[in-house]
Structures are given as C-alpha cells and as structure tokens.
Amino acid sequence: MKLAHRELGEGPSLIILHGLYGSSDNWLSIARKLENHYHVFLVDQRNHGQSPHHPVHDFTALCDDLDEFIQDQRIDKAILLGHSMGGKTAMFYAVCHPEKVNALIVVDISPRTYQVREGSGTSFQMHKKMMEAMLNLDLKTFSSREEVMKALKPTIPSKRTRQFLLKNLARYNNNGFKWKINLPVLYKQLPNILKGLDSYSVLKDRQITSIPVLFIRGENSEYITEEDILIIQKHFPYAEVVTSPGTGHWLHAEQPDFFVTKILDFLG
C-alpha cells in the first residue's frame, strides 16, 4: 500500500508513526523541532489520515506497508519513532527487519498484548466504547464541531481526548461531517490492534540487541507499567526507559521540549 506522507529537513532518515486515531498532522510540530538534524518522514498509516482505506488492519499489514514505504523512498536504514499503535508498528518492524533500522524509539506503548482490564485507561472496552460513540453519531446532521464535542461528552468526558478525536472530522459535501479514519474497520480490527509480540509465535521469544532502543512513557499513563518494563527487557535487553514527568499518553504534546530533548540526547 502506498502511504501518504510529508517530508521535512535533511540528514539521517527518521520515520515517525502516529497512533490509533492519529495522523501525520499530529506530529508536525515535533518534526519541525527535529528537521535541522534529520530528514523526517511523517507517515499516515493505513486507514488513517490521507492514506488508503483497507479492510485488513493488523501489524503484519502495517509492517508490510512500512517496508514498501522504506523501499519506495530508497532508504537503506532508518530511525523509527512510533507512538502507541505506531510504536507497535515500529517494534514489529525492528524485530522483523533489524538490518533496516538504525535506532528505535517507542512512545508510551509496551510490546505486550493489551487485554481487557476494567478501570484501565488501556483496555479493549475503553476503545470499543469510544469507537461505538463515534460510530453512533449521524455526522451529516451536525452543523458545527462544537455540537459533535457536546454529543460525545457523555461517553468520552475527557475534553483533551474529544479534541484529539475531532481532528479526524472533515466536512461532507458542505452538509455535516464525516470521519477521515476508517472507523468501521478499526472497530472490527481492534483486537488485532491491541496485540503484541507475544501473540505471534515466531516473534514472542525474539530479542533485538543490535540497535539502540529508547522507550519513553508518560508518568500518568497506564500504557507502560513496571511489569511492562520486564517485558520490554525481554525483547530489547539493552533498552533505555525514560519517564516523562506529569504527562499522560500524549506526552509528546504535553511536554514537547522534554520529549525532543530526550530524543536528541538518545540519538547523540
């Protein structure tokens, strides 16, 4: 699949992969802080942003998309930076193609499969509930973004989360709105999106020691727990794990200067 992307800067190749519900647009401000050091590629993963829609959405497909992109751009080796779902794409790719990766940076996601955990901010049920709320809206009947924000509030009380989701709204023929992401497929494929390396028999015991690896987690996020650090060390024995103070899952948006400084320090 030919992925939509944008490019900034010059230097070693750095590919940034957004998370679920995200797009390359969400990372433009970070890319601008890195463009003086790297040739930054901001990629829309399948079923997101401006990239094509497809009924298959699992990490085998996402890795194949990334490999095709790297070949099309004639990149020999790249630094991979991925957040959440994009972090898993980057991990899977690095484990399958370590010879094509210079360094790996994973933002607030673990290599494990995320199971249903009631009360957790990472659970299948949480994402399922959010997607159902979005799918149940007849967007063509709304005249403003504020109306959509208000309609989602009972199910998604977090204003920050609703604002993030609404970045996927687009006008529909001057009559209401539509979702830019392929929401029906993402809803159906959610179990695959939450899978980790442990769900793939050929990958569950694989270790990567040939490239530098950095994990950055949000202090207030539940996506990388202390138990997850042991799982990280299983697959990436020499990985560095850094905690971004006072931040949640979207730590790069909450503390961008801290985030960029850690990346530049890590990459030297």
Distance in angstroms (rounded) separating the CA atoms of residues 219 and 178:
34
Question: 159-191 pLDDT, tens per residue?
Answer: 999 999 999 999 887 778 999 999 999 999 999
User: Smallest Cα–Cα separation from 238: which of 259, 261, 214?
Assistant: 214
Residue 119: Cβ within 10 Å count: 8
Question: 199-237 pLDDT, tens per residue?
Answer: 988 888 899 999 999 999 999 999 999 999 999 999 999
Query: What are the domain boundaries of the chain?
Result: 5-113+196-267, 124-190
What pLDDT is recorded for position 175?
79
User: How much is the average pLDDT of 37-52?
Assistant: 98
Say which residue the tokens 């673990």 belong to.
110
* CA 64 vs CA 2, 143, 199, 237: distances in Å: 11, 39, 18, 25
Report residue 34's pLDDT band, with 50, 70 and 90 as the boundaries: very high
- State the catalytic residue, choosing from 39, 48, 235, 249: 249
Active-site residue, 249 included = yes
Tokens of 101: 């990766």
Active-site residue, 84 included = yes
Question: 252-262 pLDDT, tens per residue?
Answer: 999 999 999 99
What pLDDT is recorded for position 122?
57
Q: Which residues in 18-77 belong to E strands, given as ranges?
A: 39-43
> What is the b/e burial string over 53-92, where b = at least 16 CB atoms within 10 angstroms of the residue's CB?
eeeebbbebbbbbbeebbeeeebebbbbbbbbbbbbbbbb
User: CATH second-level architecture of 5-113+196-267?
Assistant: 3-Layer(aba) Sandwich (3.40)
188: three-class secondary structure by DSSP: helix
pLDDT, averaged across the chain: 94
- State the catalytic residue, choosing from 23, 84, 110, 244: 84
User: How much is the average pLDDT of 14-29?
Assistant: 97
